Amino acid sequence: MAAIRDGKHFRACNLCEAICGLEITVAGGAITDLRGDPLDPLSQGHICPKGNALIDLHADPDRLKGPLRRAGEGWAPIAWDAAYDLVAERLQDAVARHGDDAVGIYLGNPNVHNSGTMLSSGGFLRAFRTRNRFSATSVDQLPHHRAAVEMFGHPLLLPIPDVDRTEYFLVLGANPLVSNGSIMTAPGMRSRMKAVQARGGRVVVVDPRRTETAAVADEHHFIRPGTDALFLLAVLDTIFEAGDANLGRLAEFSDGLDELRSAARAFPPELVAERTGIRPETIRGIARAFATAERAVAYGRVGLSTQSFGGLCQWLVNALNAITANLDEPGGMMWPRPAFDLLAQAEAGAAYAGRWRSRVRGLAEFDGEFPVATMADEMLTPGPGQIRALITVAGNPVLSTPNGAQLDAALSQLEFMVSIDPYVNETTRHADVILPPATGLEVEHYDVIFHHFAVRNTARYSQALFPIAPEQRFDWQIFEALRARLTGKTGKTPAERLDLGLREGPYATTLDELRAQPHGVDYGPLQPCLPQRLLTADGRVRLAPPAFIADLERLAASLAAPAPELVLIGRRQLRGNNSWMHNAPRLMRGPDRCTLMLNATDAQARGIATGDPVEVRSAIGAVTVPAEVTDALMPGVVSLPHGFGHARAGVGQALAAAKPGASFNDLSDPARLDELTGNAVLNGVPVEVRVAVRESVPV
């Protein structure tokens, strides 16, 4: 193994969407300092606590370095070639005995944070003709993709806030101060928001919780979970009625403005005020300020996507930007032009939705995947097409998808399971074989996805800091070895694929040129790109897609339905990212963070005080967590963070198990979906909360 070179090293952090540049100092073969790289053109020196946790993740004694095979109730090491042979044999056997759909595939969120996986896993996964494909997309951002397809022609044509040039920043169901964006790669959001205010602009947050972002905004308005589509329609109606609607240059290549106007007319502010909890005059004030601002942008994220009307929400956010001449304009919603452009070969007018349906619940596929909320159904329900074998790649769906307890049980009865993952976690503990890839500071990396979501056009290539040990393998080596055994074929290395894409990209650069620029390359601010970048069949923006217009009937019916007394929402934490960073000491210091936030009014009515153990019960399960009474939540809403629940037996992450918390997804119901998109409903889950019954102690 080669020794690491002393001195300063530069790379990007790949633990979240912010892709912050890092300056890492090495002395005596060890990291002595890690800080933000001030010369990175995107992050400009910003770093969050997760960046320093790269040191913990690299040194984690629980991280697997070589493959493991199930041995009774435990694990035994197995040689790489023997592991590859075993996995290929068992997967081929499942297909031979039960058919193509007997193999299921689940891809977790970290896949898009690893360019080796992004650029090399396809050949292996395409070796299977199964329709049982799932990913974390349908518990996160699926409504964004569906709206992008229907309005602009491709799932990745996601418009991004040009926050660095806006004068009015409307934030709905998002907490960018903690996430550093999320489908808005924008490291250093505190500084970016302060810059909006410093140039005379305003930041307005609409959210059921007074988040970290709301606390520094100019305005914050509570809204009842699941009612954002009603609010957005009322804003649109106000703008139309005031005569403020203006498509700008989009008018030449957009359709559906009259249909959009008619749809909004059915939802005036007076009609939706009681349901949303926002007064009509407040709605009108926001609408007027947005429409008359010189440059404005509306941005909605997880809180909008993971609700019953997530698809409508993301459509309406785009529509609001469009009808105020803030779509594809500086300071509004724009599209990046990444150096490695995944849309370069995209086909205009391609179909992405509803081409086939799931076996058990008849749910429509999107972009080749079924909603992950039905994955357990496909394992537990007998019959042709039942999932008998499963491949998981960098995922932990037991903690990340609805009714984790049901999925836990489903995984335990599979005939075979292989996990490509560096940990024994709540999901991979069910595997028969675990193939752990090298990760973090050991790998070369280019952010294939997140440059498509960035608020500025930049590019950066990260070279490996540490060499891997002889017993380790890179992710692309694992995928290529399996592909060779299944198909007899191999492909290009990730570096070769990346270099080819960079050469064919908009800046005609090369991988060697990026390697020569350790701080990254700045290609400048976002630029207007429509109609050239549209991928609809007719090259026009669709402001009123028929499927979205039809779903308004369901939204209207919700106004007459009784509102639950208490509903659950999630919350993101700066020192965490889903379920896979709870084994890093730097991120887990201090008191337990898995608490149930609730408003003082709701707490008093139930006799609950901060620190009391409380039972939270939904239609599908119950968990017990400490209470945290706060005025940061509106009455009728409680909040639990996502990603905890590490108390399950056999988990090989000691620190996570010592601070296990409770899983949000032991409460979320897989039957509750956004009917338009198939995304899971994780915000607005009806619950009951009470002081937990304490077990009596014998005297």
CATH code where residue 18 lies: 3.30.200.210
Contacts of residue 488, defined as CB under 8 A and 6 or more positions apart, other chains included, come to none
Residues 233 and 279 in one domain: yes
Is 90 exceeded by the pLDDT of residue 2?
Answer: no
Please give the residue range of the domain that contains residue 165. Answer: 131-368+448-460+520-561
Q: What is the CATH number of the domain that holds 316?
A: 3.40.228.10
The string of pLDDT tens digits covering residues 100-119 is: 999 999 999 999 999 999 99
Last residue in a domain, options 561, 582, 613: 561
Confidence of residue 694 (pLDDT cuts 50, 70, 90): low
Residues 618 and 642 in one domain: yes
Is 90 exceeded by the pLDDT of residue 41?
Answer: yes
What local confidence, expressed as pLDDT, does residue 351 receive? 95
144 belongs to a structural domain:
yes
Residues 168 and 238 in one domain: yes
What local confidence, expressed as pLDDT, does residue 506 receive? 97
Rounded mean pLDDT, 430-450? 97
What local confidence, expressed as pLDDT, does residue 1 receive? 41
Residues 525 and 597 in one domain: no
Q: Could you give the 3-state DSSP secondary structure of residue 688?
A: strand
What local confidence, expressed as pLDDT, does residue 693 receive? 82
Task: Compute the distance between CA of residue 597 and CA of residue 102 in angstroms, rounded to an integer.
Answer: 42
162 belongs to a structural domain:
yes
Counted domains in the chain: 3
Residues 617 and 542 in one domain: no
Residues 201 and 340 in one domain: yes
The string of pLDDT tens digits covering residues 289-330 is: 999 999 999 999 999 999 999 999 999 999 999 999 999 999
- In percent, the amount of the chain with pLDDT more than 90 equals 95
Residues 536 and 613 in one domain: no
471 belongs to a structural domain:
no
196 belongs to a structural domain:
yes
Residue 406: which of 424, 431, 381, 386 has the closest Cα? 381
Residues 549 and 636 in one domain: no
What local confidence, expressed as pLDDT, does residue 699 receive? 46
Rounded mean pLDDT, 563-588? 90
105 backbone dihedrals φ, ψ, rounded to 5°? -130, 130
Residues 595 and 552 in one domain: no
Last residue in a domain, options 561, 587, 622: 561
Confidence of residue 697 (pLDDT cuts 50, 70, 90): very low
Task: State the average pLDDT for the chain.
Answer: 96
Residues 550 and 633 in one domain: no
Q: What is the CATH number of the domain that holds 640?
A: 2.40.40.20
Last residue in a domain, options 22, 37, 59: 59
496 belongs to a structural domain:
no
Rounded mean pLDDT, 450-457? 98
Confidence of residue 695 (pLDDT cuts 50, 70, 90): low
610 belongs to a structural domain:
yes
Locate 492 and state its tokens.
């290009």
Residues 524 and 610 in one domain: no
The string of pLDDT tens digits covering residues 208-266 is: 999 999 999 999 999 999 999 999 999 999 999 999 999 999 999 999 999 999 999 99
Tell me the pTM: 0.97
What local confidence, expressed as pLDDT, does residue 576 receive? 81
Residues 39 and 145 in one domain: no
552-576 burial, b at 16+ Cβ within 10 Å, e below that, comes to: beebeeeeeeebbebbbbbbbbbbb
310 belongs to a structural domain:
yes
The secondary structure of 497-517 as a DSSP string is HHHHHHHHSTT---HHHHHT-
82 belongs to a structural domain:
no
- Cα angle value 43/46/47 (rounded, 5°): 120
The string of pLDDT tens digits covering residues 630-650 is: 999 999 999 999 999 999 999
Cα separations in angstroms, 579 against 265, 306, 373: 43, 17, 18
What local confidence, expressed as pLDDT, does residue 3 receive? 59
- In percent, the amount of the chain with pLDDT more than 70 equals 99
